[in-house]
Amino acid sequence: MHRRSFLLGAGATAIALPSMSYARAGYPQRPITYIVPVAPGGGSDYVGRTVTNAWADVLGTQFIVENQGGGGGVIACQRAMRADPDGYTLMQGYVATLATSPATRKVPYDPVRDFTQVGMIGGTPNVLVVNAKLPVKNFQEFVAYAKQRGDAMNYGSAGAGSLTHLLMELMQQHAGTKMVHIAYKGISPAFTDLIAQQTQAMFPGLAAAVPHLRSGTVRALALTGEHRNPGFPDVPTFKELGVSGFDDVLQWYGVSGPAGVDAGVVQVLNDSLNKALARPELRKQLDIEAIDPMPMSPAQFADYAKRDFERWARLAKEQGIKLDA
């Protein structure tokens, strides 16, 4: 299914009532509201709509997808946090709302205590890229080049406190480089200046980088995650390069509810979500955004999200990154 043909309309969209039933013990008995904390369109919205379409078919109920943009996800998080913990209001919690944002700025919610973690959807690696005209061919050459030039080197990000910002700071911490951060309002303008050689490097999600990699305007040097990506088999992982700390760093997406959702309801949701993620057709659709499904138990996902938040909070403290709310 083509991504853009799937994203129809704005605001709330009801996913068609499924043909199968997975319900246990009387749950669910009515449609489930699924909050996506971004405006319609784009990768996160595509993930939410694609996953709930398949999930509805397994769970045996209707999902009503509502886009709740604003405040960098804060408004959506507050709404989800304050909802009745009855399993009928869920949110697509992801790396920004549950990890990087609360790690770098004051937010009106606790990413660990204020939510019930239902399950992981999956993640896509981030890729260190440079302008293709930069005279470096691999990660080692890049580090040497950046060290030689010091703060004469610039790197762009999708915004201060974003994963693209924090990942580069993590890399600089490991490599000992001193590049200057240039924050943009989104990944598109950051790519525009990278291609125009106003900046020299960036750390976007792989899906955002694919068009530029294929056009040859940027060069990939290394990927986060455990394994190489089949679409770019020549790009090594940081693990292969002997650089620790990047194995489980991903642009990830999961499902969260308000704190206090009944464990039995959470298990019904988790079991059905994982069954949906096992479907080959859903895996193929998620691959459009370079997302690898990562089924987890509720406890495993809660631990993953907590550790990711703690990682970025620790880095922000060490690197002196503290942003206004």
Residue 19 has a pLDDT of 36
Residue 25 has a pLDDT of 56
Specify the CATH superfamily of domain 3-122+253-319: Bordetella uptake gene, domain 1 (3.40.190.150)
Strand, coil or helix: 5 = helix
The answer on pLDDT for 23 being more than 50 is: no
Strand, coil or helix: 297 = coil
List Cα–Cα distances, 229 to 124, 138, 185, 291, in angstroms.
10, 17, 28, 10
Scanning the chain, the segments in alpha helix (DSSP H) are: 3-6, 43-59, 74-82, 95, 101-104, 139-149, 163-175, 187-195, 206-215, 263-277, 280-286, 298-319
**Could you give the CA distance from residue 323 to residue 178 in angstroms, rounded to a whole number?**
20
Question: β-strands 32-36, 89-91: how paired?
Answer: parallel
Q: Where are the domains of the chain?
A: 3-122+253-319, 127-223
DSSP state of 10: S
Whether the CA torsion 271, 276, 277, 278 is positive or negative: it is positive
Residue 294 has a pLDDT of 97
Residue 16 has a pLDDT of 43
Q: CATH topology of 3-122+253-319 equal to that of 127-223?
A: yes
Percent composition of the chain: helix, strand, coil (DSSP 3-state, to 5): 40, 20, 40
CA neighbours closer than 13 Å in the CB half-sphere of residue 252 = 28
Domain range 127-223, CATH architecture: 3-Layer(aba) Sandwich (3.40)
> What distance lies between CA 182 and its chain's CA centroid?
21
Are 110 and 77 contacting, i.e. CB atoms less than 8 angstroms apart? no
Are 201 and 168 contacting, i.e. CB atoms less than 8 angstroms apart? yes
The torsion region of residue 171 among left (phi > 0), alpha (psi -120 to 50) and beta comes to: alpha
List Cα–Cα distances, 216 to 199, 210, 211, in angstroms.
16, 10, 9
DSSP state of 270: H
pTM for the predicted model, two decimal places:
0.89
**Could you give the CA distance from residue 301 to residue 98 in angstroms, rounded to a whole number?**
12
The answer on pLDDT for 2 being more than 90 is: no
> pLDDT tens digits, residue range 10-21?
444 444 444 334
Q: DSSP letters of 35-65?
A: EESS-SSSHHHHHHHHHHHHHHHHHTS-EEE
**Could you give the CA distance from residue 237 to residue 228 in angstroms, rounded to a whole number?**
6
Residue 213: partners with Cβ closer than 8 Å, 6 or more residues away: 127, 129, 219, 220, 232
**Overall average pLDDT of the 154-167 stretch:** 96
> pLDDT tens digits, residue range 170-194?
999 999 999 999 999 999 999 999 9
Strand, coil or helix: 184 = coil
> pLDDT tens digits, residue range 78-93?
999 999 999 999 999 9
The answer on pLDDT for 70 being more than 90 is: no
Among residues 259, 301, 269, which one has the least CA distance to residue 32?
269
DSSP state of 97: I
The torsion region of residue 52 among left (phi > 0), alpha (psi -120 to 50) and beta comes to: alpha
